[in-house]
Chains A and B, each alone.
Chain A
Amino acid sequence: MNAATRLSVLLLASCAFASAVRAAGTRDDLDGVWLFYGAEVPEDPGLTPAGREKLEQYDPLRDDADTMCKPVTFTSIMHTPSPPIEIRQRADHVEIDYEFMDVHRRVPLSGALASAPYTVADHPHMGRSLGSYEGEELVIDTVDVEAGYLDTLGFAGLPQSAQMRTEERFIPNGDRLEVVVTHHDPVYYAKPMVMTYDFVRVDTTIMEWGCTLEGANYDERLDAVEAEQPAAR
């Protein structure tokens, strides 16, 4: 074994050790239904000038795809406080059902990311994903997303380019789950932008969301109220 190989083995072992230490649970703990329990959003997302300009242009009535029953991104979905998510680990793939917007995601555990199938079959704008395990943590990489807005809930108006690469790290801890999401986007972010989500295990089942344009566009109706009664309040 030459020096370079020894170094590689050492690095891999270190990563696995670090992962094992960070994850207080086992990967089996990941299976189940999870309820959002809070998130940490960066004070400074490290936007480039183009990113700041895109953020300033954000108009929720025009740019929030949720109002058109089109789920924005996984980053945005995970900010929704009440609809839970369910994780099911299989031998060769992982299924994640997000109650919000009825998003059913399938993540293969082998193959190439660039040629992976769209992770949500009926929403190709959400990109292609590939999963793997590092110790007890599930790591999902996603690419080939549609340019637009990354988040309309937690940090509304954060942009994303088609070059965005996202790493989601699911860290089990018994009945708690931490998901660390690192966004790499050279167009809109000068540094990796990290959001952290906390979940608690919940004894429930995923229900149908049944998004309708009438229900999702309620804000538009409210703004019509504002337009009609500008002098009130």
Chain B
Amino acid sequence: MKPPYLLFLSAGVSLLTALAAAAHHSVAINFERGEPIEIRGTVKEAHMRNPHSQYVVDVRGEDGTITEWFVEWSDRNSLVRRGVDLDLIKAGDTVTLTLWPSQRLPNVGYFVQAVLADGSIYRDCGFVQYREAVAKSVRFRCEEGTRAPPQ
């Protein structure tokens, strides 16, 4: 595996944010923030922890084979500060997840949105929006992060 973060050295890019230059921890480096993908499956494991939260999801293909997906999300403490319900998604739940796909690994993605077991929709505002609210001294409110009614 070629470490992608070595590339920026030769490219000589001036870096103004930590994330832009980050390594394997980095969401910006590891996940394609363009066109999201969608998976539907049963949650096998839910780990709300630091430095990243993770879900393991079994996704059944059209031919009946099960593929295990790893879904990464923010660190637990950051989710708590953003007011995210840590029991939002539990083992055994059947969910549809919208993800940014990994740039380097198959069947790995970063959490964007979930259609929960009860049909409601949860969309994450993300850490950056929280940080901007802090910087502007305004109360953080995640309108997108509230559960929307089933469509």
| Residues of A near any B CB (own CB < 8 A) | 35-41, 43-44, 55-56, 58-60, 64, 66, 79-83, 99-100, 152-157, 175, 200-204, 207, 209-212, 215-216, 218-219, 221-223, 225-226, 229, 232-233
Q: Which one of B9-17, B89-97, B111-119, B141-149 contacts A?
A: B9-17
CB proximity to A under 8 Å, residues B29-78: 47, 49-52, 54, 70, 72, 74-75, 77-78
Q: Tell me whether A222 and B3 are in contact (CB under 8 A).
A: no
List residues of chain B with CB within 8 A of the CB of A40: 15-16
Report the separation of the CA atoms of residues A83 and B75 in the bound assembly, to the nearest whole angstrom.
Answer: 9
The answer to whether residues A82 and B22 also contact, given A35-B131, A41-B15, A222-B105 and a CB cut-off of 8 A, is no
A218 touches B77 (CB 8 A): no
B15 → chain A closest CB, angstroms: 4
Main secondary structure of the interface of A (DSSP, over half): loop
Residues of the B chain whose Cβ atoms lie less than 8 Å from the Cβ of A201: 134
Cα of A100 to Cα of B102 in the assembled complex, Å: 24
If the complex has contacts A58-B3, A209-B77, A225-B107, are A215 and B23 also in contact, measured as CB distance less than 8 A?
Answer: no
Q: CA of A212 to CA of B16 in the docked complex: distance in angstroms?
A: 31
A153 to chain B, nearest CB (A): 5
**Given known contacts A40-B16, A55-B9, A226-B105, A155 and B77 CB-to-CB distance under 8 angstroms:** no
Note all chain B residues with C-beta closer than 8 A to A219.
24-25
Bound-state Cα–Cα, A56 to B3, Å: 10
